[in-house]
Chains A and B, each alone.
Chain A
Amino acid sequence: MPAKIVNFTLNGRLTEVMVKPLMTLQTVLRAQLGYTATKAGCRQGGCGSCTVLVNGQPMMSCLLPVEDIEDQEVMTLEGLAQDGELHPLQKAFFEKFAIQCGYCTPGMLLVSKALLDQTPHPSRDEIVAALTANYCRCTGYEPIIQAVLATAQRNNGHGK
């Protein structure tokens, strides 16, 4: 089977790629399209650093053949800030020092966005449950949880 053309929406823009069979969304994003915010940590679905949103739902891009997302909407970290303005979650991560080395941050932000879109005022437990499969080896998680809580309290985590 030769290379195949796959169309999907990436951060609101129609995107067309030519891929080999079973090529992952992670590889296409990073190597083909240059969207390197999506990290390649374990490539086992274990670390969460490659998390992207597909139709608003967190998925591990390292486990996702890009052919499976034909006609779907993909959001990566590059799509979070709008018109040069940081997303409220990004501001809160910055303020609360929820970023140290930054490797887990793209996944953390996208899962947090998906959570706030579905549950605008999550409890602390709901935040912990949502982020449970995104590993951070720097912050100890507390500043990340605080950043999501702060965003929710400011009532501006929803939408955008």
Chain B
Amino acid sequence: MTAKAYYQPQSLDEATGLLAEHGLSLLVMAGGTLAMPLINEGISLPEKVMGLRRAGLNYLGKSNGNLAIGATTTLTQMLAQQEIPLLQEAARNVGGWAIRNMGTVGGNLFAPPPAGDFAVALLALDAQVKLVSKSGARIIPLSDFYTGFMATALMPGELVAEILVPEPKGITAYLKYGRRHANTPAVVTVAVHIQFEGERVNDARLALNAVGSHPFRARKAEQAMTGSRLDPKTLESVASIAMEESDPFTDAVASEWYRRKMVGIFVRRALQQIAV
């Protein structure tokens, strides 16, 4: 334990002030489920850490028809809310009870794959993130937030303050495949949100996790189903396009080859749930 300071801002203003003052030397932490394992293990040795538990970012509210989720709202709270069932399902698939009591919605945006199984559902719902610094705030689509492996669009001095989720207008499905039934890293996770016009797909979101450097939208696969019925032939081709769009990795959970295979299978299964 080498930390020389642990700051506990009591408000968002105080938090952005500390960020402006200390810059990149300040490690920002919310529930601690990502940062503390690395610190305990000595892999990460931050001198200055800022904990957001008391910064007043733990809330669920409404903003212009969106569900506004404060960044430190826990996954347990997301499991308890009933407004967006897809987010309940996603929360259920992260960690176990104690981890959900600690892990936060904002923190999950920073979870490197195969973690990040909550954020992938946010992507499928066209969520936006509100980034706040001492000098102001901006709102960007979550799909623009990710820029690479453990890299985001956050500018120095900014932190994620809120996540905005529009009310789902279509049908949603969420499938996580891991080596165990629960509390498990993903082989692949699929989140879909489909709007129909008659029998045909009018608007499609297909988001994947654990098969790329961050949770991402399989946009070519989305396009491939737009305008079609979700018949077996379409499902087959959408699944194979999603496999091509994936960029899986090999780790202790699964190989690159296996993960890509499972993308095809679980994309098809998720769409089958919706097509029925």
Contact = CB atoms under 8 A, between A and B. Distances in A.
Interface residues of B, number: 29
B95 interface: yes
Contacts of A67: 6, 8, 51
Given A22-B3, A45-B37, A67-B6, A132 B97 contact: yes
A21 B98 contact: no
B32 interface: yes
Contacts of B138: none
A108 B43 CA distance: 29
Interface in B49-63: 49, 51, 53-54
Interface string A67-96: 110000000000000000000000000000
Interface string A47-80: 0100100100111101111011000000000000
B97 A111 contact: yes
Contact of B102 (A48, A63, A130, A134): A63
B36 A21 contact: no
A65 B102 contact: no
Interface in B37-83: 37, 39-41, 49, 51, 53-54, 76
B219 to A, nearest CB: 34
A133 B96 contact: yes
Residue of B36, B181, B182 ringed by the most chain A CB atoms within 10 A: B36
Contacts of A129: 97, 182
B274 interface: no
B40 A60 contact: no
22 contacts: A20-B1, A21-B3, A21-B5, A22-B1, A22-B49, A43-B40, A45-B99, A48-B96, A57-B101, A59-B98, A59-B102, A60-B99, A62-B36, A63-B36, A65-B36, A67-B8, A68-B32, A111-B97, A132-B96, A133-B96, A133-B99, A134-B96
Interface of B: 1, 3-6, 8, 31-33, 36-37, 39-41, 49, 51, 53-54, 76, 95-99, 101-102, 181-183
